[in-house]
Amino acid sequence: MAPLVILTLVTAVVWAARPRSSTRRSWLGAARFGLAAMFAFTGASHFIGMRADMIAMVPPGLPHPEALVSLTGVLELAGAAGLLWKGTASAAAVGLALLLCAMYPANVHMALSGLAEGWSSQLIPRTIIQLIFLATTVATAVHHRPTRPTHPNPLSPQPRRRTDAEHPRP
């Protein structure tokens, strides 16, 4: 539940802090920072405080649960850092969306095996929360995707211009 609270609060604070007249005032622009804070928190949780719980969440069929928890923690921290720079925000969001999908079986395992207590640890609420994270991450990836430059690329072939000698004026 804490990641959802972090995502919501940081997104709201960043959105509210932008000037009302700003053309860049969008909730998706603010959500990039909310996601970065959320993934920094969850990534750090893989190493500090909740490591044992994270290892227990790994489904039994997967090898090396400690290494998987460390790997996903590093990927979440790297994704959080990537979200902070606008130039890498879209790629980072895509990577984090894929990571959320890959880690979903661990959430199912946790919910069905009763490893955690509370309503947010049950399968349906946990799935809804994961879908909120996934939807926000995908929307951020789309919102921050690179656009084609409006100026021509100097390295791309340019059409040849005709000279006045080729087409004299009447």
| Contact call for residues 132 and 13 (beta carbons, < 8 A) | no
How confident is the model over 67-108, as pLDDT tens digits? 999 999 999 999 999 999 989 999 999 999 999 999 999 989
Is it the case that residue 23 has pLDDT exceeding 60? no
- Whole-model pTM? 0.81
Beta carbons within 10 angstroms of residue 32's beta carbon:
26
| Interatomic CA distance for residues 93 and 155, integer angstroms | 30
| Contact call for residues 88 and 36 (beta carbons, < 8 A) | no
Most confident of 7-16, 143-152, 157-166: 7-16
Q: How far is CA 4 from CA 99, 132, 133, in A?
A: 17, 8, 8
The set of residues, in sequence order, having a beta carbon less than 8 Å from that of 140 and lying 6+ positions away, is 28, 31, 32, 35, 83, 89, 90, 93
Q: How confident is the model at residue 38 (pLDDT cuts 50, 70, 90)?
A: very high
Own/partner pairs for 163-168, CB < 8 Å, 24+ apart? none
| Contact call for residues 3 and 132 (beta carbons, < 8 A) | no
Domains in the chain: boundaries: 2-17+24-143
| Interatomic CA distance for residues 81 and 75, integer angstroms | 10
How confident is the model over 148-168, as pLDDT tens digits? 665 666 666 656 666 666 665
